[in-house]
Amino acid sequence: MASKATIERRETALPVQNDPDILNAAARLAGEDMCSIADLSSGEVRAILKLGHHVKHNPREYRNALDAKQMVLMFEKASLRTRLSFETGFSTMGGNAIFVDQTNSPLGERESIADVARNVERWVDLIVLRTYAHDTITEMAANSRVPVINALSDFEHPCQALADFMTLEEHFGSASGLNFTYVGDGNNVCHSLMLTGAQLGTNVTVATPRGYSPDIEIVTKAREIAELNGCEVRLLQDPHAAVENADAVYTDVCVSMGYEHESTKRAPIFRPFQVNETLMQKARPNAVFMHCLPARRNAEVTDAVLDGPQSIVFDQAENRMHAQKALLLLLLGGLSNVEKFNT
């Protein structure tokens, strides 16, 4: 396993402005939206993570990269990590973040999403949305001339998945060839993890209760990508079989925001899928435990696992900022400013 120091030395030495993966991604992604991991090629996912590592270990090089840029965050759902990681990351690169609380007034309710887009695009350089309906994000993107980022919808959570696989690269040196197991609800986080793992050559196993499998379109797309990258995507209903030989074990709440009315129904169904010490013993000795947070302690995961030595959940949370900074730099053409401000 590569140590953090090894990763830091390797990534710090990277001539990031001349890296072909990053140059190609910068050329293709400038001005584009990121509504889904499926919007990205495998090379672009690798480039975002590579740049994320460099940004993390060389923050001063990027302190003016987004000078005078404006970003608006419009959130229909409560947030801790997503809001703070975007606001902090953007401001440390010279930009200004504006938060609009939509929790009491969902987008499209007061005026059409198209009209919101046509107004907001005249004031800001980028729109970040955290919504319920995925259609809200795609409709905003279709009507906006500035980039739109999906910061969570009921269908996907792409920024979370990018940070998660950046974290795996820190701990293992590469995500390619790893055995990654997700246990729990086949939800938005699960969807983005499947797609990202497939893009990076990771073997992804998903274990869910019957009736809670991930969306079939996502499964099909992930398997198509996996075939191209020499890995596989498996669906199981036995969490113990799924975790065998896993390098990483991931779970999420079994009741996502918007499904609180199903809490009583879901609790007994998901109880056998709890990640506890017994389940983790099925994984490889050096396996890590992951969770997107917030966690319902002693529900989908026990305290002993969440706070234990295998847990890297707070590394994941930290890397939300760094992976998102890399994405922002690519969508807003910020790399062109890095050399100018550091010469």
Options 134, 320, 322, 324, the catalytic residue: 320
5 φ, ψ to 5°? -65, -40
Q: In the annotation, is 134 catalytic?
A: no
Look at the block and give the residue holding tokens 């998903």. Answer: 206
Question: Is there a catalytic annotation at residue 160?
Answer: yes
Among residues 157, 191, 291, 322, the one annotated as catalytic is 157
Catalytic residue among 54, 83, 154, 160: 160
Known active-site residue 199: no
| DSSP symbols for 107-152 | TTTSS-HHHHHHHHTTT-SEEEEE-S-HHHHHHHHHH-SS-EEES-
Report d(CA 333, CA 324) in Å as an integer: 14
Residue tagged active-site, from 164, 252, 274, 316: 252
Question: How is residue 17 annotated by DSSP?
Answer: G
Q: Is 320 a catalytic residue?
A: yes
Please tell me the distance from the alpha carbon of residue 289 to that of residue 331, in angstroms, as a whole number.
Answer: 31
DSSP state letter for 38 = G
Which residue is catalytic, options 130, 171, 191, 322?
130
- Antiparallel, parallel or unpaired: β 148-150 and 126-130: parallel
CA proximity to 321, closest of 94, 191, 160: 160
Question: CA-CA distance, 250 to 244, in Å (whole number)?
Answer: 13
Which residues are designated catalytic?
130, 157, 160, 252, 292, 320
